[in-house]
Structure 1
Amino acid sequence: MKRIDLNTGTEHDAELSGAHPEDYVVVDDLGDFTYYPSEAVMLEDLEYVDEAASILDRAGNDFRLTLEGNRKLRLGSSFGRVEFTWLRQAWMNDRRRDPQAHRLLRFYPTTLDALLAGIFEILTLELAIQAAGSPWVLEMGGEETHPATLKDVDGLLAGLDHLEAASVRDPCGHHYRPTRHAPHPFRSRSAGAIYYVEIETHPGEAGNGPQVSDSLP
């Protein structure tokens, strides 16, 4: 992949913050997950047919790349819906291989629809550089603020030594407890990367959903 920077340019800003376009997630031949706001952007970034092990739309249709007669890449026909167990394992492997790339640690999904929704939500929240339809909510010390993006949440928490009193809600309605992972013993507490671990908001309803959050790396 040429790794087009989707965080630059107003064309992508609007797509990330507005209604869902015809967007895709690519699982490449190394197991990395990459979000693309459109087919055109995806085809511009990918370089060879076997680079994409799987190309997914929001419905879970599983595509591959093909070559046109002029040797240009195009999106092929769907092979049907992606297999749930394979996709969940691939997603877990990607997060464990590069923990800081995906710091929103949600409960494990138990259905394909929930898994797909979560992957698209997390990847777009990570990329967003302007507010979506709903803001983030950060509660800390009895005060509530409304950062526009995950980067803004990071900025508000970065200088704090203790995050125990903070809680975060993303624009999709998921609640998290921010935590830092194992800062070096000779560095300040505020130097560690911040992870957002999903928490239950209604413990009495716990039996209706997944119970185990991703463990920190």
Structure 2
Amino acid sequence: MNRREFLAGAAGTSAVALTSTTATAQEDGEGSDPRQGSGTEDDPYVVNMYTESSEYYFDPVGLHIEPGDTVQWVNASGDHSATSYTTDNPSASVRRVPEGAASFNSGTLTEDGATYTHTFETEGTYDYYCIPHKTLGMVARLVVGEPGGPATEGSIPDSVGSGVVPDSETIVEEQALSYPFIPNTGAGSLPGLAVGALALFGLGNAYMLSEYDVLSGRYKNSDDTQTGLE
């Protein structure tokens, strides 16, 4: 293998990685309505509540609905609640739902498959949590119509288990966001950028190693750059 062949192979591998990253980013923006349900009382939007190993989470972690829509929380595994950040609820010291909006609290559901439903009438942004796992990052956000209210000011008072709580505008745009939510930087998702950076790093290393090989004489007999050929 000569130096030109070596570099061509390395470039091809990096190009495949970069192309794969781009394709994944494009696919992320395609598809139909990601929400489960239609928001009616008979077919409410669904948010699942999970315990998986050391992770406790709502999925989707961000959901957009319209005034009058109904949401149903399903206890998929573990013991969980769906509880609004309102001072009349346990463990909530601040209000992070719109003024005039009704608070909600399912209480802790202990049976797999148990459900709780709530119909949202007041427009704005709602932050909520799980009573048993609030301090472990089980928090989420719901936007009814247009964003607004205390939840749009400052950050949610509890950290999320993984990722971050989506901002209201992103929730409205995407309709539903799965857990964990990793923000898009504008140039691609963070995992996608990491893959792209790794590909470029590999290509750079390949070039540096090939330069070293030329100087060491490894390609002395086969490298066309040593014979003056183009």
TM superposition score normalised by structure 2:
0.28
Structure number with the bigger relative contact order (C-alpha 8 A, sep ≥ 6) is 2
The structure with the larger Rg is: 2
- Normalising by structure 1, report the TM-score: 0.29
